Protein backbone atom coordinates (compact mmCIF):
# COMPACT_ATOMS: atom_id res chain seq x y z
CA UNK A 1 0.00 0.00 0.00
CA UNK A 2 2.68 2.46 -1.13
CA UNK A 3 4.05 3.71 -4.43
CA UNK A 4 7.49 3.07 -5.88
CA UNK A 5 9.24 6.46 -5.96
CA UNK A 6 10.97 6.03 -9.32
CA UNK A 7 7.92 4.54 -11.02
CA UNK A 8 5.80 7.41 -9.74
CA UNK A 9 8.27 9.92 -11.13
CA UNK A 10 8.20 8.13 -14.48
CA UNK A 11 4.41 8.21 -14.65
CA UNK A 12 4.21 11.89 -13.68
CA UNK A 13 6.85 12.82 -16.26
CA UNK A 14 4.95 10.92 -18.94
CA UNK A 15 1.81 12.84 -18.02
CA UNK A 16 3.68 16.15 -18.30
CA UNK A 17 4.87 15.16 -21.79
CA UNK A 18 1.36 14.22 -22.86
CA UNK A 19 2.20 10.52 -23.16
CA UNK A 20 -0.70 8.18 -22.30
CA UNK A 21 0.40 5.98 -19.44
CA UNK A 22 -0.85 3.54 -16.85
CA UNK A 23 -0.71 3.26 -13.10
CA UNK A 24 -0.06 -0.32 -12.11
CA UNK A 25 -0.98 -2.20 -8.98
CA UNK A 26 0.25 -5.78 -9.08
CA UNK A 27 -0.30 -7.40 -5.67
CA UNK A 28 0.12 -11.10 -4.96
CA UNK A 29 -2.57 -12.61 -2.77
CA UNK A 30 -1.17 -13.98 0.46
CA UNK A 31 2.02 -11.95 0.09
CA UNK A 32 1.41 -8.29 -0.70
CA UNK A 33 -2.39 -8.44 -0.56
CA UNK A 34 -5.00 -10.48 1.34
CA UNK A 35 -5.17 -14.21 0.69
CA UNK A 36 -8.70 -13.98 -0.73
CA UNK A 37 -9.49 -12.84 -4.25
CA UNK A 38 -12.09 -10.35 -3.04
CA UNK A 39 -9.63 -8.82 -0.58
CA UNK A 40 -6.93 -8.61 -3.23
CA UNK A 41 -9.34 -6.92 -5.62
CA UNK A 42 -10.44 -4.45 -2.94
CA UNK A 43 -6.83 -3.46 -2.21
CA UNK A 44 -6.01 -3.24 -5.92
CA UNK A 45 -8.96 -0.95 -6.55
CA UNK A 46 -8.00 1.32 -3.64
CA UNK A 47 -4.43 1.58 -4.91
CA UNK A 48 -5.65 2.35 -8.44
CA UNK A 49 -7.97 5.08 -7.17
CA UNK A 50 -5.12 6.62 -5.17
CA UNK A 51 -2.72 6.52 -8.13
CA UNK A 52 -5.23 7.95 -10.61
CA UNK A 53 -6.03 10.73 -8.15
CA UNK A 54 -2.32 11.54 -7.81
CA UNK A 55 -1.88 11.67 -11.59
CA UNK A 56 -4.89 13.94 -12.10
CA UNK A 57 -3.88 16.22 -9.22
CA UNK A 58 -0.40 16.57 -10.74
CA UNK A 59 -1.59 17.05 -14.32
CA UNK A 60 -5.36 17.44 -14.71
CA UNK A 61 -6.74 15.69 -17.77
CA UNK A 62 -3.75 13.36 -18.17
CA UNK A 63 -4.53 10.26 -20.21
CA UNK A 64 -4.20 7.27 -17.91
CA UNK A 65 -5.19 3.61 -17.86
CA UNK A 66 -6.40 1.63 -14.86
CA UNK A 67 -3.62 -0.93 -14.46
CA UNK A 68 -4.82 -3.50 -11.97
CA UNK A 69 -2.78 -6.71 -12.27
CA UNK A 70 -3.73 -8.88 -9.29
CA UNK A 71 -2.02 -12.25 -9.07
CA UNK A 72 -1.19 -15.03 -6.64
CA UNK A 73 1.77 -16.00 -4.49
CA UNK A 74 2.79 -19.64 -4.26
CA UNK A 75 2.59 -20.07 -0.51
CA UNK A 76 5.05 -22.96 -0.67
CA UNK A 77 7.85 -20.96 -2.28
CA UNK A 78 6.52 -17.36 -2.16
CA UNK A 79 7.10 -17.20 -5.91
CA UNK A 80 4.83 -15.41 -8.37
CA UNK A 81 2.06 -17.47 -9.99
CA UNK A 82 0.67 -16.01 -13.18
CA UNK A 83 -0.95 -19.05 -14.73
CA UNK A 84 -3.66 -19.78 -12.17
CA UNK A 85 -7.25 -19.65 -13.34
CA UNK A 86 -7.88 -17.32 -10.41
CA UNK A 87 -5.63 -14.76 -12.12
CA UNK A 88 -8.02 -14.88 -15.06
CA UNK A 89 -11.01 -14.54 -12.74
CA UNK A 90 -9.50 -11.50 -11.04
CA UNK A 91 -8.60 -10.02 -14.42
CA UNK A 92 -12.25 -10.25 -15.44
CA UNK A 93 -13.24 -8.52 -12.20
CA UNK A 94 -10.63 -5.80 -12.73
CA UNK A 95 -12.34 -4.70 -15.93
CA UNK A 96 -15.64 -4.43 -14.07
CA UNK A 97 -13.97 -2.29 -11.42
CA UNK A 98 -12.38 -0.02 -14.02
CA UNK A 99 -15.70 0.36 -15.81
CA UNK A 100 -17.32 1.29 -12.50
CA UNK A 101 -15.18 4.45 -12.43
CA UNK A 102 -15.35 4.89 -16.22
CA UNK A 103 -11.61 4.51 -16.87
CA UNK A 104 -10.23 2.14 -19.54
CA UNK A 105 -7.95 -0.57 -18.23
CA UNK A 106 -5.08 -2.78 -19.16
CA UNK A 107 -4.34 -6.26 -17.91
CA UNK A 108 -2.20 -9.36 -18.37
CA UNK A 109 -3.17 -12.69 -19.88
CA UNK A 110 -1.52 -15.69 -21.44
CA UNK A 111 0.89 -16.25 -18.57
CA UNK A 112 1.98 -19.70 -17.49
CA UNK A 113 3.97 -21.20 -14.66
CA UNK A 114 5.16 -24.00 -16.96
CA UNK A 115 8.83 -23.99 -17.96
CA UNK A 116 8.28 -25.24 -21.52
CA UNK A 117 5.55 -25.02 -24.18
CA UNK A 118 3.64 -28.06 -22.96
CA UNK A 119 0.04 -28.99 -22.16
CA UNK A 120 0.14 -27.05 -18.88
CA UNK A 121 1.17 -23.90 -20.73
CA UNK A 122 -1.69 -24.51 -23.15
CA UNK A 123 -4.49 -24.72 -20.61
CA UNK A 124 -3.17 -21.92 -18.40
CA UNK A 125 -2.74 -19.56 -21.32
CA UNK A 126 -6.07 -20.48 -22.89
CA UNK A 127 -8.04 -19.93 -19.68
CA UNK A 128 -6.45 -16.61 -18.72
CA UNK A 129 -6.59 -15.28 -22.27
CA UNK A 130 -10.21 -16.30 -22.78
CA UNK A 131 -11.27 -14.75 -19.46
CA UNK A 132 -9.43 -11.51 -20.25
CA UNK A 133 -11.02 -11.27 -23.68
CA UNK A 134 -14.64 -12.16 -23.01
CA UNK A 135 -14.79 -9.94 -19.92
CA UNK A 136 -14.05 -6.93 -22.12
CA UNK A 137 -10.61 -5.75 -20.98
CA UNK A 138 -9.47 -2.81 -23.09
CA UNK A 139 -5.74 -3.42 -23.46
CA UNK A 140 -4.19 -6.84 -22.90
CA UNK A 141 -0.44 -7.38 -22.71
CA UNK A 142 2.03 -10.11 -21.67
CA UNK A 143 -0.21 -12.28 -23.85
CA UNK A 144 2.33 -14.16 -25.97
CA UNK A 145 5.59 -16.04 -25.71
CA UNK A 146 6.13 -15.94 -21.96
CA UNK A 147 6.74 -18.95 -19.73
CA UNK A 148 7.82 -19.66 -16.14
CA UNK A 149 5.77 -16.76 -14.74
CA UNK A 150 7.40 -14.24 -17.11
CA UNK A 151 10.97 -15.35 -16.38
CA UNK A 152 11.59 -16.64 -19.89
CA UNK A 153 10.18 -16.81 -23.41
CA UNK A 154 10.18 -19.36 -26.23
CA UNK A 155 9.93 -18.48 -29.91
CA UNK A 156 7.66 -21.43 -30.61
CA UNK A 157 5.40 -20.30 -27.77
CA UNK A 158 4.72 -17.08 -29.68
CA UNK A 159 3.35 -19.21 -32.52
CA UNK A 160 1.15 -21.25 -30.19
CA UNK A 161 -0.05 -18.16 -28.33
CA UNK A 162 -0.94 -16.48 -31.62
CA UNK A 163 -3.28 -19.41 -32.22
CA UNK A 164 -4.78 -19.12 -28.72
CA UNK A 165 -5.30 -15.37 -29.10
CA UNK A 166 -6.88 -15.96 -32.51
CA UNK A 167 -9.44 -18.26 -30.90
CA UNK A 168 -10.13 -15.56 -28.33
CA UNK A 169 -10.64 -12.90 -31.00
CA UNK A 170 -13.07 -15.24 -32.74
CA UNK A 171 -15.06 -15.44 -29.51
CA UNK A 172 -15.42 -11.67 -29.58
CA UNK A 173 -17.06 -11.79 -33.00
CA UNK A 174 -19.95 -13.83 -31.67
CA UNK A 175 -22.50 -15.44 -34.00
CA UNK A 176 -23.88 -13.20 -36.73
CA UNK A 177 -27.64 -13.64 -37.10
CA UNK A 178 -28.42 -11.28 -39.98
CA UNK A 179 -30.50 -12.56 -42.91
CA UNK A 180 -27.50 -13.69 -44.91
CA UNK A 181 -26.01 -15.68 -42.03
CA UNK A 182 -29.34 -17.25 -41.07
CA UNK A 183 -29.17 -18.65 -44.60
CA UNK A 184 -32.91 -19.11 -45.12
CA UNK A 185 -32.60 -18.66 -48.89
CA UNK A 186 -29.71 -21.14 -49.05
CA UNK A 187 -31.69 -23.71 -47.06
CA UNK A 188 -34.69 -23.20 -49.33
CA UNK A 189 -32.56 -23.50 -52.49
CA UNK A 190 -30.85 -26.74 -51.43
CA UNK A 191 -34.06 -28.36 -50.28
CA UNK A 192 -34.68 -31.76 -48.63
CA UNK A 193 -31.97 -34.35 -49.20
CA UNK A 194 -29.55 -31.87 -50.74
CA UNK A 195 -26.13 -30.65 -49.61
CA UNK A 196 -24.36 -27.34 -49.44
CA UNK A 197 -21.03 -28.29 -51.02
CA UNK A 198 -21.67 -26.36 -54.23
CA UNK A 199 -23.97 -23.72 -52.76
CA UNK A 200 -23.08 -20.13 -53.59
CA UNK A 201 -23.75 -19.34 -49.93
CA UNK A 202 -21.06 -21.82 -48.89
CA UNK A 203 -18.52 -20.30 -51.28
CA UNK A 204 -19.32 -16.82 -49.97
CA UNK A 205 -18.61 -17.76 -46.35
CA UNK A 206 -16.14 -20.64 -46.55
CA UNK A 207 -13.04 -18.58 -45.75
CA UNK A 208 -14.41 -16.17 -43.17
CA UNK A 209 -17.07 -17.87 -41.04
CA UNK A 210 -14.69 -20.10 -39.06
CA UNK A 211 -11.29 -19.47 -37.52
CA UNK A 212 -8.61 -20.72 -39.91
CA UNK A 213 -5.61 -20.43 -37.59
CA UNK A 214 -1.96 -19.93 -38.42
CA UNK A 215 -1.25 -23.57 -39.26
CA UNK A 216 0.12 -24.79 -35.95
CA UNK A 217 -3.06 -26.75 -35.14
CA UNK A 218 -3.37 -30.15 -36.81
CA UNK A 219 -6.80 -30.49 -38.43
CA UNK A 220 -5.98 -33.31 -40.84
CA UNK A 221 -6.42 -37.07 -40.75
CA UNK A 222 -4.27 -39.48 -38.75
CA UNK A 223 -2.82 -40.87 -42.00
CA UNK A 224 -1.66 -37.39 -43.03
CA UNK A 225 -0.27 -36.78 -39.56
CA UNK A 226 1.78 -39.99 -39.74
CA UNK A 227 3.12 -39.01 -43.16
CA UNK A 228 4.41 -35.76 -41.68
CA UNK A 229 6.43 -37.50 -38.94
CA UNK A 230 3.74 -37.38 -36.23
CA UNK A 231 4.70 -33.88 -35.19
CA UNK A 232 3.25 -32.36 -32.02
CA UNK A 233 1.92 -28.81 -31.90
CA UNK A 234 5.20 -27.72 -30.31
CA UNK A 235 7.20 -29.45 -33.07
CA UNK A 236 5.21 -27.62 -35.73
CA UNK A 237 5.58 -24.33 -33.85
CA UNK A 238 9.37 -24.78 -33.71
CA UNK A 239 9.53 -25.28 -37.48
CA UNK A 240 7.32 -22.26 -38.11
CA UNK A 241 9.37 -20.08 -35.75
CA UNK A 242 12.64 -21.13 -37.44
CA UNK A 243 11.18 -20.27 -40.85
CA UNK A 244 10.19 -16.80 -39.63
CA UNK A 245 13.59 -16.19 -38.02
CA UNK A 246 15.36 -17.18 -41.24
CA UNK A 247 13.61 -14.44 -43.20
CA UNK A 248 15.46 -11.16 -43.85
CA UNK A 249 14.92 -8.54 -41.16
CA UNK A 250 12.54 -5.81 -42.28
CA UNK A 251 11.51 -2.50 -40.75
CA UNK A 252 9.13 -2.92 -37.83
CA UNK A 253 7.12 0.10 -38.97
CA UNK A 254 6.48 1.23 -42.53
CA UNK A 255 8.85 4.19 -43.17
CA UNK A 256 6.00 6.42 -44.34
CA UNK A 257 3.96 5.66 -41.21
CA UNK A 258 6.99 6.25 -38.98
CA UNK A 259 7.58 9.62 -40.67
CA UNK A 260 3.98 10.65 -40.05
CA UNK A 261 4.17 9.59 -36.39
CA UNK A 262 7.33 11.65 -35.92
CA UNK A 263 5.67 14.62 -37.58
CA UNK A 264 2.61 14.39 -35.33
CA UNK A 265 4.33 13.63 -32.02
CA UNK A 266 7.48 14.65 -30.25
CA UNK A 267 9.48 11.40 -30.23
CA UNK A 268 12.35 11.19 -27.78
CA UNK A 269 13.68 7.82 -28.97
CA UNK A 270 15.67 7.53 -32.18
CA UNK A 271 16.69 4.03 -33.21
CA UNK A 272 18.48 5.09 -36.39
Residue 184: partners with Cβ closer than 8 Å, 6 or more residues away: none
| Structure-model confidence comparison of residues 251 and 236, the more confident one | 236
Is the predicted pLDDT of residue 1 greater than 90, yes or no? Answer: no
- Is residue 87 within 8 A of residue 131, CB to CB? The reply is no
| pLDDT category of residue 272 using cuts at 50, 70 and 90 | low
- Is residue 197 within 8 A of residue 80, CB to CB? The reply is no
Residue 201: partners with Cβ closer than 8 Å, 6 or more residues away: 180, 183, 185, 186, 189
Cα maximum dimension of the chain: 72
**Average confidence (pLDDT) over 47-55:** 95
Q: What is the residue extent of each domain of the chain? A: 1-174, 176-217, 220-272
Distance CA 68, CA 95 (A): 9
pLDDT of residue 121: 95
pLDDT digits (tens, 9 = 90+) for 135-173: 999 999 889 999 998 899 999 999 999 999 999 999 999
Residue 98: partners with Cβ closer than 8 Å, 6 or more residues away: 48, 66, 68, 104, 105, 138
- The H or E element spanning position 151 is none
Distance CA 217, CA 211 (A): 11
**Average confidence (pLDDT) over 50-56:** 95
pLDDT of residue 271: 60
SS3 142: coil
Check if CATH label 1.10.3720.10 holds for domain 1-174.
Answer: no
**212-219 contact pairs (CB < 8 A, 24+):** 213/163, 213/166, 214/159, 214/162, 214/163, 214/166, 214/240, 215/240, 216/159, 216/160, 216/162, 216/163, 216/240, 217/163
Residue in 57, 42, 54, 40 with CA at minimum distance from that of residue 5: 54
Average pLDDT, the chain: 92
pLDDT of residue 264: 87
pLDDT digits (tens, 9 = 90+) for 61-120: 999 999 999 999 988 888 888 899 999 999 999 999 999 999 999 999 999 999 999 999
Is the predicted pLDDT of residue 205 greater than 80, yes or no? Answer: yes
SS3 219: coil
Global confidence as pTM: 0.85
Amino acid sequence: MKFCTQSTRNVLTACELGIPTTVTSAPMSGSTSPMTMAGTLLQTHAEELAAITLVQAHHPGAKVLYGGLPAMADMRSMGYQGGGVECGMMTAAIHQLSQHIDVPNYCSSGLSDSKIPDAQAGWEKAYTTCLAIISGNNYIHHAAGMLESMLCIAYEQYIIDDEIIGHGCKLLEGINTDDDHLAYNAIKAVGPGGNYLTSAHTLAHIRKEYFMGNGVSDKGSRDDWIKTDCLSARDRAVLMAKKILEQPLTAAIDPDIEKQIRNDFKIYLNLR
